[in-house]
Structure 1
């Protein structure tokens, strides 16, 4: 399997360049088709306006969403016309409460969805539900690219955050095209259980599975020396000069992670390298 149908969903013109260029680079290197969806988000609904907001204000928000979609669409088309790849570019408007339906309808027919970092300064509230809709409703793997990352075609050093969960295994399987092309893949195990069938060989079965696919694997067993698992993974990534991190998404419920935090949310907030996610 390879990534032949790529999807880039853009909801903010200011954040569109990095994921768009990443999509173009992957499409060119893999002879893939890149679809771009330019979405203007209409927030004129209950919960975003006080009672009594008039129709003129709601129409203004709708007009603004259309203008945003037009701006993103024009910018994307300008970049795609000279990219030398197979591409398509559509635009539309969605209310934020209905965003998931629009995202999922496109994501479920894509091999990989490329999205910007959902958390940080000057980011809209639609970025988080866009990513979650692609992963959950769309059942597609997501490549999250931070603003500072440069387009990559085939990451040479990859780490896998491995905790023996179903989510981590799904993400690893989905990332196989990247893993097989890498120079080295680090299976990172943090505080392995002292009891259980794999306690004497943490990460061993995953390494065996990957090596049979021709993946060059190293197992790194680390102690949780920092409060959050994501911090340990990111420190290891910096120390090992990792190009991309693979991890299962939302092992806990999204509600729990939103309120209490979790490895996925913390990683999406603080990652400085591309993160490959699947659930």
Structure 2
């Protein structure tokens, strides 16, 4: 798999800088298109929640205020995208070029999560900025929908996103289909990484890891040399262990499966994906 289109949704918020930095950097690295997307919310979407008895002038004021807010956010996104592209040395153009790094800026209207999900279907990678830096109603739903409903790999960009990603890659391996899909999606990073480490976490402590050795052999077929690192859980959340090990190994990209359990179970009992989303300080590539 190659990476040729990278979807970078913008929201007119502080987290946009991370999306732009990451998306444009990866576009240059893979000679890809950074597809920068801003979704204008429909002002009338809020009206059904206002209840009955609201006067016409009040409704019009609400719609006008929402329209002005959308105009302001759109202008901000355009300006930031142009500045970031100029700084990265990437041309913003609608022309399709398979052998050069480019960016395009698009504006669409609708419910953000639905539009982003639809646009993700023809993207090789979707960048979602740090959920803590953005409206919880938009970020988490976009990540979940792109990954779970549309089956697209997602790159979670932390608030302080590095310009370069993938020199030292850490793989969280639990032999699940989700983790295998994440590895397939991450292969363009893995084949060019200087260091790749397979991390296996076990609640009872790991003494043997045939599954990790099988992955090691598989990666070798793709010319990727990987080390195996076995780690006990020690009554910690697996996500906590993975992040700690990624830090210890000086990793700059964590690759893992997302939502191996249902979202309801993650919500009620806590889960690896939820912990990673809330605490990651390095980019995380996830797939379902």
User: What TM-score do you get using the length of structure 2 for normalisation?
Assistant: 0.85
What are the equivalent positions in structure 2 for 1:125-140 lying under 5 Å apart? 125-140=137-152
The 5 A counterparts of 1:148-187 are: 148-152=160-164, 154-187=165-198
Which has the larger helix fraction?
Answer: 2
Unaligned runs of 5+ in 1: none
From 61, 85, 104, the equivalent of 1:88 is 104
The offset of 1:226, in angstroms, is 4.2
Aligned: 1:275 with 2:276: no
Partner of 2:114: 101
Whole-Å separation in 2 of the counterparts to 1:44 and 1:256:
34
Q: Which deviations, in whole Å up to 9, do the C-alpha atoms of 1:50-74 show, x marking residues without a partner?
A: 4235523541334423432332123
User: Match for residue 65 of structure 1?
Assistant: 70
Shift of 1:185: 1.2
Quote how far apart the aligned CAs of 1:191 are: 0.9
Shift of 1:34: 1.2
CA displacement at 1:92 relative to structure 2: 2.5
**How many angstroms apart in 2 are the aligned matches of 1:50 and 1:184?**
55
What is the CA deviation profile of residues 39-93 of structure 1, one whole-angstrom value per residue up to 9, with x for unaligned ones? 2345764799442355235413344234323321232133325623412101133
**SS of residue in 2 equivalent to 1:136:** helix
Q: Is the partner of 1:203 in helix, strand or coil?
A: helix
After TM superposition, list the pairs within 5 Å mapping 1:190-209 onto structure 2.
190-191=201-202, 201-209=210-218
Aligned equivalents of 1:73 and 1:26: distance in 2? Answer: 20
**TM-align CA RMSD:** 2.6
Counterpart of 2:83 in structure 1 is: 78
Which SS does the other structure have where 1:106 is aligned?
A: helix
Pair 277,178 (structure 1): closer, same or farther in 2 beyond 3 Å: same
Q: Contact conserved, 1:192 with 1:199, CA < 8 A, in 2? A: no
> 2:270 & 2:48 partners in 1: Cα distance?
24
Pick closer, same or farther for the CA change 1:185–1:258 going to 2, 3 Å.
same
Counterpart pick for 1:143 among 117, 140, 155: 155
Whether 1:35 aligns to 2:35 is: yes
- Residue matched to 1:17: 17
Return the TM-score normalized by structure 1.
0.88
2:266 matches 1:261? no
Give the structure 1 partner of residue 7 of structure 2: 7
Structure 2, unaligned runs of 5 or more? 91-100
Aligned residues: 272
Partner residue, 2:94: none
Q: 1:41 to 1:72 in 2, by over 3 A?
A: same
User: What is the CA–CA distance in structure 2 between the aligned matches of 1:32 and 1:110, rounded to whole Å?
Assistant: 11
**Is the 1:188–1:221 contact (alpha carbons within 8 Å) kept by the matching residues of 2?**
yes
Is the Cα–Cα contact under 8 Å of residues 133 and 159 in structure 2 kept in the other structure?
no
Shift in CA distance, 69/259, structure 1 to aligned 2, threshold 3 Å: farther
